[in-house]
């Protein structure tokens, strides 16, 4: 999000105007960074300079190492600025760019990871690449400065070699742009879906709810998948094959609603939790998180009729209407995490501040309900002495339990708390507020339109349906061209950038939700027109599926088909759901078929596509995708596949209630320990057990390694590591244990993406 440029910084570059937290971390480098876009490309052509493309993300510590050693170094930056046009990309913000050039790096080096460092011709063809490069020559390998000089020399003095290499790489990347076909037939039936849902939920956290370890994200696409799976099972007149799914999802929604990740006064949700307990959030608020969570809480209410889920959904909707809706009815993008460079400052309270607003008696009740009576729970990670001195409001106990302890019932307690929350919210609104990003993004608005429409339908609230309608009408007035194509974003009335697949697919899905909420067929007609444009601009009529970029896109040389979820659902998955709803069953089947192999092998990261397959089976018959000869057998492993192979897991029983889990980490790699500290967010190693909330896990401390980005050593695991699991009760004979190991692997040059391995252990 745009930030005020501080005069305390010696350097400020173009990234200061970006919205990505990762890009903003580089806004004060001496490097003359550009973001990915026409300004950078034109500069490269005009100055006849090669492009240095650096891609990373906020939790990749080798990215921070390279920044500290090279991008913050005045001498290195001078070399970069003199010889190259330098572009910085957040892989989470531009997955199309990341995927394309990661494939190129893998072709060049047979490995991948982040930071990704790629050298391009001014017309964006890659001709050299790698990952982390140290600033100086060492161990017989060239350092970054030597590399910069050598690359520029090749570009200037050996142009024929550069051209040949660039053309060869682009040709190979083009061959690899299609999803891998199955080597054996795959049948997409209910058993296929059941197995994928089981695998996807294997890292459920029975103690704190949710999935995976810290930093902990809501995983909205997985929540929606399981909610739809449960509803589909009910529709089919059968109970779910795995009876604990419903309790897992509802306990996760309860935990999210009770945690500090939810703004207990304002009703919205922050981006993620820095801990496993959902207590301390990263305070940024994203429109898409709130849209997807609102839909999930509405659906949970529809399935259970529990009022608490409707209340959470209403809290989100009312927050969006109050604070993230433009006068024209469109929805804004995000709130920043910081105020005056302090994380979450406007959301935090002290006990005396609360008492000053509420008075002594009410503040005692409020403090008991929202955990303030337990003492401060937040210490600013960048300021202060590390001692907690403020409070994040959260619900340490269910409201019913708090009511009993206070000698009242839930209804009476809630009636007493409502004006208290309003008083505090009014006072909070007078504080300096985090910056609001007022961009209007088509796909993100579409997610919110869908949620508002569904909320209006299920909760019977016309204002929510009206909000969905107003945003949809805004998009058609401002983001649609006369030829039916969509623009990606607008701000202050100026729309720009060609829409991606997500923009078309999400908008069509939202319009269908509006049809269901209003009964007006005009919305289905509009959805059909958007879907037709999507088929024309992104569809592949020969093999099925959709490309992420428009057929006229000029800034991505190879169009790729992608189906993994980011925080957002896959555009291909939503496109398949839309086609199915509009009656294009064959096109939906073709989209599912082309990603069947990827679902079988990587379904844990494809919740939306698994959901699309589930919805397909509600309307049509199972189908089989036949095997094909692998013409591209030399396809490099993806970073996720490499990461899965870094750690091998073996187990042995030391008693009926104690299990030893041994991790064998490949030489040259390490993973973060379970306890990670410091200013840079790191992915901690975590072992979760989905079926025993009473189990405890004992982790080794790890060994300390020093890194250039950190003031103190980071604890890591390497070699052989043993984790001890103690179950709450002895395991009965024939009773298996289901474990999920989450970790992030790094070597001496790069970090691979976080992955989760599922392990099922027979009883001893």
The pLDDT value recorded for residue 331 is 97
The pLDDT value recorded for residue 627 is 87
Structure confidence by residue, pLDDT tens digits, 359-368: 999 999 999 9
The span from the CA of 196 to the CA of 407, in Å, is: 46
Count CA atoms within 13 Å of residue 293 on its CB side: 35
**For the purposes of burial, counting CB atoms within 10 Å of the CB of 532, is it exposed (0-12), middle (13-18) or buried (19 or more)?**
middle
Mean predicted lDDT score pLDDT of the chain = 90
Shared domain for 738 and 648, answered yes or no, is: yes
pLDDT band at 633 (very low <50, low <70, confident <90, very high): very low
The span from the CA of 90 to the CA of 217, in Å, is: 18
Mean pLDDT check: name the lowest of 250-254, 480-484, 731-735. Answer: 731-735
Shared domain for 218 and 326, answered yes or no, is: yes
In this predicted structure, the answer to whether residue 92 has a pLDDT above a threshold of 80 is no
Token duo for residue 409: 């019932």
Query: Is residue 180 domain-resident?
Result: no
| SS3 assignment, position 332 | coil
Number of domains in the chain: 4
The pLDDT value recorded for residue 99 is 81
Shared domain for 423 and 560, answered yes or no, is: no
Shared domain for 621 and 711, answered yes or no, is: no
Answer with the residue of higher pLDDT: 708 or 92.
92
Please list the residues that pair with 745 across neighbouring strands. 671
In this predicted structure, the answer to whether residue 158 has a pLDDT above a threshold of 80 is yes
pLDDT band at 237 (very low <50, low <70, confident <90, very high): low
The pLDDT value recorded for residue 60 is 77
Query: Is residue 257 domain-resident?
Result: yes
- State yes or no: cis peptide before 734, omega within 30 of 0: no
Query: Is residue 87 domain-resident?
Result: yes
Structure confidence by residue, pLDDT tens digits, 203-227: 899 999 999 888 899 999 999 999 9
CATH of the domain at 694: 2.60.40.1250
Mean pLDDT check: name the lowest of 454-458, 463-467, 711-715. Answer: 711-715
pLDDT band at 1 (very low <50, low <70, confident <90, very high): very low
Ranked by mean pLDDT, the top range of 222-226, 334-338, 672-676, 704-708 is 222-226
In this predicted structure, the answer to whether residue 632 has a pLDDT above a threshold of 80 is no
Q: Do the bridges between strand 85-90 and strand 33-34 make them parallel or antiparallel, or are there none, so unpaired? A: parallel
In this predicted structure, the answer to whether residue 234 has a pLDDT above a threshold of 90 is no
Range of the domain at 379: 345-433
Query: Is residue 1 domain-resident?
Result: no
pLDDT band at 566 (very low <50, low <70, confident <90, very high): confident
Q: Evaluate whether 103 touches 176 at the Cβ level (below 8 Å).
A: yes
Instruction: List C-alpha distances in Å: 346 to 137, 340, 373, 734.
Output: 47, 10, 20, 53
Average pLDDT score over residue span 115-139: 91
pLDDT band at 19 (very low <50, low <70, confident <90, very high): low
Cβ neighbours of 593 (radius 10 Å): 21
Query: Is residue 630 domain-resident?
Result: no
Mean pLDDT check: name the lowest of 135-139, 301-305, 584-588. Answer: 135-139
Average pLDDT score over residue span 231-243: 59
Shared domain for 243 and 326, answered yes or no, is: yes
The span from the CA of 412 to the CA of 719, in Å, is: 57
Instruction: List C-alpha distances in Å: 365 to 184, 357, 402, 411, 629.
Output: 63, 13, 9, 15, 68
Structure confidence by residue, pLDDT tens digits, 496-530: 888 999 999 999 999 999 999 999 999 999 999 99
Ranked by mean pLDDT, the top range of 319-323, 707-711, 714-718 is 319-323
Shared domain for 495 and 615, answered yes or no, is: yes
Query: Is residue 6 domain-resident?
Result: no
| Residue that terminates a domain, selected from 418, 433, 448 | 433
Shared domain for 414 and 494, answered yes or no, is: no
| Residue that terminates a domain, selected from 395, 411, 433 | 433
Shared domain for 456 and 601, answered yes or no, is: yes
| SS3 assignment, position 109 | helix
558 closest CA partner among 96, 92, 179: 96
Shared domain for 129 and 231, answered yes or no, is: no
The pLDDT value recorded for residue 567 is 85
Q: Evaluate whether 467 touches 475 at the Cβ level (below 8 Å).
A: no
Structure confidence by residue, pLDDT tens digits, 446-459: 999 999 999 999 99
Shared domain for 281 and 367, answered yes or no, is: no
Q: How far apart are the first and last CA of the chain?
A: 53
In this predicted structure, the answer to whether residue 656 has a pLDDT above a threshold of 80 is yes
The pLDDT value recorded for residue 495 is 87
Average pLDDT score over residue span 10-16: 93
Query: Is residue 147 domain-resident?
Result: yes
The pLDDT value recorded for residue 711 is 64
396 closest CA partner among 369, 376, 373, 424: 369
Residues with Cβ within 8 Å of 171's Cβ and at least 6 positions away in sequence, in order, are none
Average pLDDT score over residue span 348-357: 97
Token duo for residue 727: 């179950």
The span from the CA of 311 to the CA of 216, in Å, is: 23
The pLDDT value recorded for residue 229 is 94
Shared domain for 170 and 269, answered yes or no, is: no
CATH of the domain at 221: 1.50.10.10
Q: What percent of the chain has pLDDT over 90?
A: 65
Cβ neighbours of 78 (radius 10 Å): 14
DSSP state of 636: P
Please list the residues that pair with 650 across neighbouring strands. 662
Mean pLDDT check: name the lowest of 280-294, 593-607, 668-682. Answer: 668-682
Shared domain for 470 and 361, answered yes or no, is: no
Please list the residues that pair with 757 across neighbouring strands. 741
Nearest-5° Cα angle at 511, 20 to 294: 55
Mean pLDDT check: name the lowest of 45-54, 69-78, 634-643, 697-706. Answer: 634-643
| Residue that terminates a domain, selected from 408, 433, 458 | 433
Answer with the residue of higher pLDDT: 340 or 161.
161
In this predicted structure, the answer to whether residue 696 has a pLDDT above a threshold of 50 is yes
Query: Is residue 632 domain-resident?
Result: no
């Amino acid at each position: 999000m745009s930030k005020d440029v501080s005069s305390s910084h010696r350097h400020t570059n173009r990234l200061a105007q970006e919205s990505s937290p990762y890009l903003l971390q580089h806004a004060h480098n001496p490097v003359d960074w550009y973001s990915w876009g026409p300004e950078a490309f034109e500069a490269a052509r005009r100055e006849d300079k090669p492009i240095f493309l650096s891609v990373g993300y906020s939790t990749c510590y080798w990215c921070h190492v390279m920044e500290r050693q090279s991008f913050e170094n005045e001498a290195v930056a001078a070399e970069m600025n003199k010889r190259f046009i330098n572009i910085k990309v957040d892989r989470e913000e531009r997955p199309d760019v990341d995927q394309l050039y990661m494939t190129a790096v893998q072709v060049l080096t047979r490995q991948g990871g982040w930071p990704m460092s790629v050298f391009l011709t001014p017309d964006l063809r890659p001709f050299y690449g790698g990952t982390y490069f140290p600033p100086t020559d060492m161990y017989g390998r060239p350092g970054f400065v030597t590399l910069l000089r050598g690359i520029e020399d090749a570009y200037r003095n050996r142009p024929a070699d550069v051209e040949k290499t660039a053309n060869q790489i682009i040709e190979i990347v083009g061959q690899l742009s299609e999803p891998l076909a199955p080597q054996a037939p795959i049948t997409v039936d209910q058993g296929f879906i059941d197995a994928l849902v089981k695998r996807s939920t294997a890292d459920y956290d029975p103690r704190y709810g949710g999935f995976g370890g810290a930093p902990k994200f809501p995983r909205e696409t997985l929540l929606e998948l399981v909610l739809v799976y449960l509803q589909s099972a009910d529709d089919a007149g059968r109970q779910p094959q795995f009876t604990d799914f419903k309790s897992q999802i509802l306990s996760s929604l309860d935990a999210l609603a009770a945690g500090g990740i939810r703004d207990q006064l304002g009703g919205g949700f922050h981006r993620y939790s820095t801990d496993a307990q959902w207590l301390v959030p990263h305070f940024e608020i994203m429109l898409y998180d709130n849209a997807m969570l609102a839909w999930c809480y509405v659906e949970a209410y529809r399935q259970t009729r529990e009022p608490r889920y409707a209340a959470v959904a209403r809290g989100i909707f009312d927050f969006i209407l109050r604070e993230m809706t433009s006068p024209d009815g469109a929805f804004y993008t995000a709130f920043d995490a910081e105020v005056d460079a302090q994380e979450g400052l406007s959301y935090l309270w002290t006990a005396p501040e609360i008492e000053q607003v509420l008075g002594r008696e009410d503040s005692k009740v409020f403090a008991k309900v929202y955990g303030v009576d337990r003492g401060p729970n937040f210490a600013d990670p960048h300021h202060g002495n590390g001692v907690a001195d403020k409070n994040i409001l959260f619900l340490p106990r269910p409201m019913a339990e708090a009511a009993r302890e206070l000698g009242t019932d839930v209804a009476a307690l809630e009636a007493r708390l409502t004006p208290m929350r309003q008083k505090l919210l009014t006072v909070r609104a007078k504080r300096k507020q985090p910056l609001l990003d007022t961009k209007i993004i088509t796909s993100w608005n579409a997610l919110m339109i869908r949620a508002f429409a569904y909320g209006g339908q299920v909760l019977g609230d016309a204002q929510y349906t009206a909000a969905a309608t107003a945003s949809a009408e805004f998009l058609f007035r401002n983001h649609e061209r006369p030829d039916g194509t969509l623009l990606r974003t607008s701000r202050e009335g100026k729309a720009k950038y060609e829409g991606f697949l997500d923009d078309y697919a999400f908008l069509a899905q939202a319009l269908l939700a509006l049809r269901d909420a209003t009964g007006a067929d005009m919305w289905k007609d509009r959805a059909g027109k958007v879907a037709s444009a999507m088929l024309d601009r992104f569809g592949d009529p020969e093999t099925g599926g959709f490309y992420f970029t428009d057929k006229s896109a000029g800034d991505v040389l190879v169009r790729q088909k992608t189906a993994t979820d980011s925080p957002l659902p896959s555009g291909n998955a939503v496109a398949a759901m839309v086609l199915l709803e509009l009656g294009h069953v064959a096109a939906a089947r073709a989209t599912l078929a082309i990603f069947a192999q990827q679902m079988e092998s990587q379904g844990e990261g494809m919740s939306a596509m698994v959901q699309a397959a589930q919805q397909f089976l509600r309307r049509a018959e199972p189908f089989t995708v036949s095997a094909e000869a692998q013409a591209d057998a030399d396809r490099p492993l993806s970073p996720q596949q490499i990461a899965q192979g870094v750690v091998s897991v073996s187990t042995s029983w030391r008693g009926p209630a104690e299990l030893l889990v041994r991790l064998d980490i490949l030489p040259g790699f390490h993973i973060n320990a379970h306890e990670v500290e410091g200013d840079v967010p790191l992915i901690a190693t975590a072992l979760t057990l989905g079926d025993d909330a009473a189990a405890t896990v004992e982790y080794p401390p790890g060994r300390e390694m020093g890194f250039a980005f950190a003031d103190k050593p980071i604890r890591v695991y390497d070699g052989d590591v043993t984790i001890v699991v103690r179950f709450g009760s002895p395991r009965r004979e024939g009773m298996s244990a289901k474990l999920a190991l989450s970790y992030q692997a790094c070597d001496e040059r790069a970090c691979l993406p976080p992955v989760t391995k599922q392990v099922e252990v027979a009883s001893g």
